[in-house]
Structure 1
Amino acid sequence: METKNERVRRQVNEYLQGHNVATLATCSDGKVWAAAVFYVWDGATLYFLSAPASRHAADLARNPQVALTVQEDYADWPEIKGVQLEGVASELSGAEEARARRLYGEKFPAVGIVGKVPATLVKALAKVRWYQVVPQHLYFIDNSKGFGHRDEVLL
């Protein structure tokens, strides 16, 4: 029999695998920032890419603590579902970067298929850095169960 934590973890995995864009919040020097990033989720870690000169990448270099949300643009509050997490972000290299690239290419085939990627995108991808976010706290929001209802996934 599935425990509540296993059920919520399954819901989170399905939700994150079924969506593409996360809002990443960073903080550095007492200033907060939020940016939309395309991501891939492997069941325990979220991966994304970004230009190293972006404000959020610069923030991550100084402060790896992040918050992140994934949700749709709902019109009615009882329909709201989504994921909130707080965690630690880090830049990837070596085998970890190769794994992130592979997973990203599987989710976004236009990025992963060399020869089918437009030259402008190839140039852009050559300049990005790959990052991971390892959750420390993870929640599934489901307002169909009541306003502000959220379940924590025990990690």
Structure 2
Amino acid sequence: MSDPELVEHAQALLARNAYLTLGTVDASGRPWTSPVYFAADGLTDFYWVSSPQARHSRNLAEEAAASLVVFDSTVPPYHGRALYAEGAAHEIDADELDRAVQVYPGPPERGGSALTVADVTGAAAWRLYRARARLVWCSARANPGRPARATGAPTTTACWSNPISERPGTRSCGAGGRPAGRRGGPRGASARGWCRRR
């Protein structure tokens, strides 16, 4: 896939799928994964509603590090596509709630219930959370329909990264970053960043 195709691929995955798998850890490092209905804002911000008593919410209150994956489990074998992200997540602060309830639950056709600030504050049982990705990857098979042992592992490609906080060895992919020998990002890339193979 070319760089613009990767951006479109990532956006399509987010539009087609209603749930993400959220990975959290507690203060001692024990991992936990949870499915949550989500709404995305670009390729970097992922919103969901949970009880503060849910295990993943309690984990995030202790340790903000989070990872997530969005994928379609209904596709045929060996046709899998996925978007992966890592970053930090937390309960939305009061001064950001007006914006958050505009994003969540996404377009009406997704089927989620619209929220007001009152639904996620005060005595309400639910709170609104956001994961903000520091790095985002997409996976795609070079030869869909064939098992990995015959064709090699799926190609995992960096779709977005924050060059201020990226790990060593990961190329700059957005937020104004410009890899050597390239004049900006490709056409069709989001304003937040663009894609480049690792």
TM-score range, shorter chain: 0.7 to 0.9
Compute the RMSD of aligned alpha carbons. Answer: 2.5
Encode CA deviations 1:60-83: one digit per residue, 9 max, x unaligned. 011111110111214412x01011
Amino acid at match of 1:152: A
**Structure 1, unaligned runs of 5 or more:** 115-121
Encode CA deviations 1:89-130: one digit per residue, 9 max, x unaligned. 02113342222222224435551178xxxxxxx79x931111
* Residues in 1 aligned to 2:140 and 2:14: alpha-carbon distance in whole angstroms: 14
Partner of 1:21: 19
TM-score, normalization by structure 1 = 0.80
Higher strand share: 1
**Structure 2, unaligned runs of 5 or more:** 144-150, 162-198
User: Rg: which structure is higher?
Assistant: 2
Q: 88-97 or 104-113: which moved more?
A: 104-113
Give the drift of 1:14.
2.0
Contact map agreement 2:138 2:159 (CA 8 A) in 1: yes
Give the drift of 1:148.
1.8
Alignment partner of 1:52 is 2:52: yes
TM-score, normalization by structure 2 = 0.64
Alignment of 1:62-141 (within 5 A): 62-73=62-73, 74-77=75-78, 79-107=79-107, 108=110, 110-112=112-114, 126-141=124-139
The number of equivalent residue pairs is: 144
Instruction: Tell me: CA distance 1:11–1:95, structure 2 relative to 1, closer, same or farther (3 Å).
Output: farther
Amino acid at match of 1:31: R
Amino acid at match of 2:91: E
Higher RCO structure, 1 or 2 (CA under 8 Å, sep 6+): 1
Higher helix share: 1
SS at match of 1:58: helix
- Report sequence identity in percent: 20
Partner of 1:148: 154
